[in-house]
Amino acid sequence: MPNFKGTRFTNAHETLIWCSMGEKAKYTFNYRAMKTLNDELQMRSDWVLPICGGQERLKKAGHKVHPTQKPEALLYRVMLATTNKGDVVLDPFFGTGTTGAVAKRLGREWIGCERESIYREAALERIELALPLDESALTTMQSPKAAPKVAFGTLVETGLITAGAKVFDKKRKLSATVRADGSLVAGAEIGSIHGLGAKLQGAPSCNGWTFWHIEHEGELKPLDAIRQLYLLATED
């Protein structure tokens, strides 16, 4: 963290400015991918990332090439959140080309401006060595709105969720059993994932995809996570 001497609070953060082209302009924000990156919790606005060090830090003759080389993890998160594959990312203060290296890994195009030739050369050399991720690894989680509609029954039909499996609310206070047609049963109550969720909670409505959870690979996952697995597996 750049710090300034003096009797003052020591710097503990840097501020990112996130802008759009206008008040009503459309902008990209990959909400679902961010949530997935953050273990199924909405991504926070304060990020804790280690400063750039180790193998990642560019050095020449034992000296740092650039005094403020940014960590790739930072650009990775910024780009994953705000761009899509094939988008062009402009970095007008390119330095060692962290933006370019991460853009290449993530299948984004890049434009960089850097006035110091020593940094430009280091950046180009570094980007040349960066390996783009495999096409299949570049597909990220989509928001339910952007994703094609999937009926819960389709997950049962395709065997991703088996009929007879138990589903629970997050705290395991409520449970239900999945039936062959994709409906749920809990005691005498029967309904869709949404309808039964609402009925058991005495709520006017319920998003069954996020309310109900299922054991998957030793963890309790929302049904939405299984739906995302289905979408990833069936994408063209």
Ligand X SMILES: C[S@@+](CC[C@H](N)C(=O)[O-])C[C@H]1O[C@@H](n2cnc3c(N)ncnc32)[C@H](O)[C@@H]1O
Applying CB under 6 A, the residues found at the interface with ligand X are 66, 68-70, 93, 95-96, 98, 113-116, 119
C-alpha to C-alpha distances, 119 to 35, 64, 90, 93, 99, nearest whole angstrom: 35, 11, 16, 10, 13
Closest-CA residue to 101 (of 75, 121, 136, 63): 75
Q: How far is the CB of 89 from ligand X (least distance, A)?
A: 12
Q: How far is the CB of 68 from ligand X (least distance, A)?
A: 4
Q: How far is the CB of 69 from ligand X (least distance, A)?
A: 4
Q: How far is the CB of 170 from ligand X (least distance, A)?
A: 40
Q: Which is nearer to ligand X, 129 or 233 (CB)?
A: 129
SS3 content of the chain, % helix, strand, coil (to 5): 35, 15, 55
Q: Which is nearer to ligand X, 71 or 195 (CB)?
A: 71
Q: How far is the CB of 126 from ligand X (least distance, A)?
A: 9
Q: Which is nearer to ligand X, 64 or 216 (CB)?
A: 64
Q: Which residue is nearest to ligand X (CB)?
A: 95
DSSP 8-class letter at 56: G
For the packed helices 117-129 and 98-105, what is the interaxial angle rounded to 10 degrees?
20
Residue 107 forms beta bridges with which residues?
none
Closest-CA residue to 44 (of 34, 52, 53): 34
Go through the chain and tell me how many residues it has.
Answer: 236
Cβ atoms 100, 108 nearer than 8 A: no
Q: Which is nearer to ligand X, 95 or 222 (CB)?
A: 95
Q: Which is nearer to ligand X, 114 or 224 (CB)?
A: 114
